Structure 1
Amino acid sequence: MELYKQEFGQNFDLGFDLKNHPYLIDKSWHNDLCSSFYFKVGEQYYVLWVDYADIEQREEETLRYLIVEAVNEGNNKEPDIYAGNSEVLFGCEDYTDLKEFFITILESSAPH
Structure 2
Amino acid sequence: MSYKSEFGAGFDLGFDLYNYPYLKDNSWHNNVSPSFYFNVGSQYYVLWVDYADRARREDTNPRYLIQKAINEGDEKHPEVYASGGDIIFESELVVDLNQFLNSLSDSHDHTS
Q: Normalising by structure 2, what TM-score? A: 0.93
CA RMSD between the two structures? 1.1
The residue type equivalent to 1:66 in the other structure is L
Q: 1: distance between equivalents of 2:105 and 2:19?
A: 14
SS at match of 1:97: helix
Q: 2: distance between equivalents of 1:45 and 1:61?
A: 24
The residue type equivalent to 1:35 in the other structure is P
1:42-84 CA distance string (max 9 Å, x none):
1111000000000000000110000000110001110000111
Q: 2: distance between equivalents of 1:84 and 1:108?
A: 26
User: How many residues matched?
Assistant: 109
C-alpha displacement of 1:10: 1.2
- Greater than 4 Å deviation, 4+ residue runs: none
Unaligned runs of 5+ in 1: none
Greater shift, 100-109 or 45-54, is seen at 100-109
Unaligned runs of 5+ in 2: none
SS at match of 2:83: coil
- 1:66 is matched with 65
Q: 1: distance between equivalents of 2:48 and 2:34?
A: 6
Q: Compare relative contact order (CA 8 Å, sep 6+) and give the higher one, 1 or 2.
A: 2
Q: Normalising by structure 1, what TM-score? A: 0.93
Q: 1: distance between equivalents of 2:83 and 2:73?
A: 14
C-alpha displacement of 1:91: 0.3
Q: Identical aligned pairs, as a percentage?
A: 53
